[in-house]
Amino acid sequence: MSQAPRDESASSEAGLARAWREASHDEPPAAMDDAIRAAARKAVHAGPRPAGASPFGGRWRVPLSVAAVLVVSATVTLLVAERDKRGPRSFHDQAAPPQAASAPEPFGAEPAPAEPELPVQAAEQQVPPVPSLPTPERQREPAGTAQPQLAERKGLGSAAPAESAGAEPSQAPARAQRAEGPAQPAPLTSTAPAAARHDEAEAVAGAPAAAPPAPRAADTLRDAAPGAADEPADGLAKREARSAIRAKESVMEEARPQPPQAQEPARKAAPLRAEPRGLPAAPGAAASPDGDTAADTENLEPKAWLERILELRRQGKLEEAAKSLRAFRERYPDYPLPQELNAPR
Amino acid sequence: MQGPGAYTPALMEADDTDEALMLRYAQGDAAAFDALYGRHRGGVFRYLLRQLNSNRAAAEELFQDVWMSLIGARSRYRVEAKFTTWLYTMAHNRVIDHYRRHRPLEVVSLNDDEDDDPPELAAPPTAQPERAVEARQQAARLLALVDALPPAQREAFLLHEEGGLSLEEIAAVTGCDREAVKSRLRYAMDKLRRGMGDLL
């Protein structure tokens, strides 16, 4: 393209632009101009301040942000450190009471007097589920530690745990048997030496007869009733039967050795509770010559059973001990016997 | 629609550039808006008026809408492109929206590169004795020629003449490439020159 046509084109474009400027004079109306300018002023004065004009949006933004982060970090650090200081104590404070409250009663522990009157449903809510069958070691531990306390309580004549009562409420000679109960040796599952158990048993035997060492809750109520001693035997039997029903519904009944006919329904009703099979035998139960006690013995764990057999031997009940040992061998043919039982008597 | 590009705000060194005025207005200077508005009110209005085929009422409505949008967007304004590019982009978008609402089919034709012949207008009167009459006739003819342009060519011409935009800026506003804009603008100029004849 030559220079002349380019200049001609440029001059024509310039002429066209000039002609356009002369031709086009349209303007917006003045009222619209005023409205738009007013809107612009109103937006500036009444609207939110732009980010750049904010007193915190300029040079102070970063320092203030850093300061805020530091303050928050320091606060969180102090809180965490303070919580760590008292962390273990507060943890035990929070964790221990529910555990103690919900744990099943140790075999020798002191039962609450009003607990037998609780309905079964409420009692089940208080007893946590037992995940597995208790091992003899587990059962022995609380029993061994709690039994001396039981002996002390018996000696002082204070309220005694209900599981020390070995007689059934429905049986007529129950009272007399309970009176003899403290004279019997301590529970066989205790890990204490036999001599020590004998001492404990003697201490229990020294308790005054007016204060029965192991009155069950139902019996305690019955004993506290006026005129209970003068009650006829028939009425007394009825009352004891009612007490037995209530006692079956209580938690303490679950923690107590029961006769076989009462034990099975209880197990069905509360399958997750501690199995009474591993419970230590109550004092007096081992000396009972009736068949129920033998059945109780057969329901014991092997080790507890063997302890009971040894106890029978110590008491001179050799025939009964031999009978129980035979039953034991039938039940547990492979269980190793202690040396005392292997030796001929 | 708007391509910010790599615009360096070298003009910000001067206090009276469009960008500087807009920033001052964004910081609360209402007088800066008055100056900015005074500079561009006519060009934006004429652009809208010609794009809307001289529909004055619609042009006024869109004109107000464009400036109110600018006022509302003042706090978000960043100098990423020339101010006029941003302003005419808003105007272009309003025109597109207008045609979508009222004449949807014209949206398609807005981007057509039609190369039809200039309209057959009446021959310019060569024997007008008076200069004023001649000027009015010249203006009327030119306006008629512009109105008769294809929309894409007309828009390129209007953005070039009223907004003072370069080829790149027009491309940014219209969303086309530079060569397409150059072609449209050349066709528009040729048609207008031929239509004006010896009146130029």
Tell me: the pLDDT tens digits for B21-66? 999 898 888 899 999 999 999 999 999 999 888 889 999 999 999 9
Contact state of A24 with B30 under an 8 Å Cβ cutoff: no
| Chain A partners within 8 Å of B41 (Cβ) | 27-28, 33
| Chain A partners within 8 Å of B192 (Cβ) | 16
- Among the partner-chain residues B33, B42, B63, the one whose CB lies closest to the CB of A32 is B63
| Chain B partners within 8 Å of A23 (Cβ) | 138-140, 142-143
B33, A37 contact by CB (below 8 A): yes
pLDDT at position B186, please? Answer: 92
In chain A, the residue whose alpha carbon lies closest to the alpha carbon of B186 is A13
pLDDT at position A68, please? Answer: 93
Give the DSSP H or E segment for B170: helix B167-174
DSSP SS3 for B200: coil
pLDDT at position A245, please? Answer: 56
Task: Establish if A2 touches chain B: CB-CB under 8 angstroms.
Answer: no
Comparison of pLDDT for A289 and A54, the residue scoring more: A54
Confidence bin at B135 (pLDDT 50/70/90): confident
pLDDT at A309 over 80: yes
Confidence bin at B116 (pLDDT 50/70/90): low
pLDDT at position B193, please? Answer: 87
Mutate which of A16, A18, A42, A45 to test chain B, going by most B C-beta atoms within 10 A? A16
**pTM score, whole prediction:** 0.42
A256, A279 contact by CB (below 8 A): yes
DSSP SS3 for A304: helix
pLDDT at A200 over 50: no
pLDDT at position A21, please? Answer: 84
Confidence bin at B134 (pLDDT 50/70/90): confident
pLDDT at A215 over 70: no
Dist. CA B11–CA B33, nearest whole Å: 17
Q: Hunting for tokens 């006029």 — which residue is that?
A: B84
Comparison of pLDDT for A11 and B80, the residue scoring more: B80
Comparison of pLDDT for B68 and A266, the residue scoring more: B68
A 68-107 residues inside an 8 A Cβ radius of B: none
Confidence bin at A167 (pLDDT 50/70/90): very low
Dist. CA A136–CA A104, nearest whole Å: 16
pLDDT at A241 over 60: no
Contact state of A27 with B29 under an 8 Å Cβ cutoff: no
pLDDT at A175 over 80: no
In chain A, the residue whose alpha carbon lies closest to the alpha carbon of B29 is A44
Least Cα separation, residue B21 to chain A (angstroms): 13
Contact state of A52 with B199 under an 8 Å Cβ cutoff: no
- DSSP labels for A182-251? GGSPPPTT--S-HHHHHHHHHHHHTS-TTS-SS--HHHHHHHHSTT-TTS-HHHHHHHHHHHHHHHHTSH
Confidence bin at B137 (pLDDT 50/70/90): confident
Q: What mean pLDDT is reported for chain B?
A: 80
Distances in whole angstroms, Cα of residue A97 to Cα of each of A24, A84, A127, A161: 93, 21, 14, 22
- DSSP labels for A261-300? HHHHHHHHH-TTSPPGGGSPPPTTTTT--SHHHHHHHHTS
Confidence bin at A43 (pLDDT 50/70/90): confident
Q: What mean pLDDT is reported for chain A?
A: 58
Span A218-230, pLDDT tens digits: 444 444 344 444 4
Task: Establish if A1 touches chain B: CB-CB under 8 angstroms.
Answer: no
Contact state of B64 with A32 under an 8 Å Cβ cutoff: yes
| Chain B partners within 8 Å of A40 (Cβ) | 25, 30, 33-34, 37, 67, 71
Closest alpha carbon to A180 in A191, A162, A166, A161: A166
Dist. CA B171–CA B156, nearest whole Å: 9
pLDDT at position A55, please? Answer: 52
Backbone dihedral angles phi then psi of residue A119, each to the nearest 5 degrees: -65, 160
Q: For the residues A186-200, what does the mean pLDDT come to?
A: 40
| Chain A partners within 8 Å of B139 (Cβ) | 19, 22-24
Contact state of B139 with A19 under an 8 Å Cβ cutoff: yes
Q: For the residues A306-328, what does the mean pLDDT come to?
A: 88
pLDDT at position A22, please? Answer: 82
| Chain A partners within 8 Å of B63 (Cβ) | 28, 32
Contact state of B192 with A51 under an 8 Å Cβ cutoff: no
Mutate which of B52, B55, B71, B159 to test chain A, going by most A C-beta atoms within 10 A? B71
Dist. CA B133–CA A175, nearest whole Å: 141
In chain B, the residue whose alpha carbon lies closest to the alpha carbon of A42 is B30
Query: What does the block give as tokens for A242?
Result: 């009612």
Number of C-beta neighbours around residue A172 at 10 A = 12
Span A269-307, pLDDT tens digits: 443 443 334 334 434 444 444 444 566 677 788 888 888
- Among the partner-chain residues A13, A28, A51, the one whose CB lies closest to the CB of B189 is A13
DSSP SS3 for B80: coil
Confidence bin at B10 (pLDDT 50/70/90): very low
Contact state of B60 with A37 under an 8 Å Cβ cutoff: no
pLDDT at position B45, please? Answer: 94
Dist. CA A255–CA A258, nearest whole Å: 9
Least Cα separation, residue A12 to chain B (angstroms): 7
Span A270-279, pLDDT tens digits: 434 433 343 3
Give the DSSP H or E segment for A154: helix A136-156
Q: For the residues A251-276, what does the mean pLDDT come to?
A: 45
| Chain A partners within 8 Å of B24 (Cβ) | none
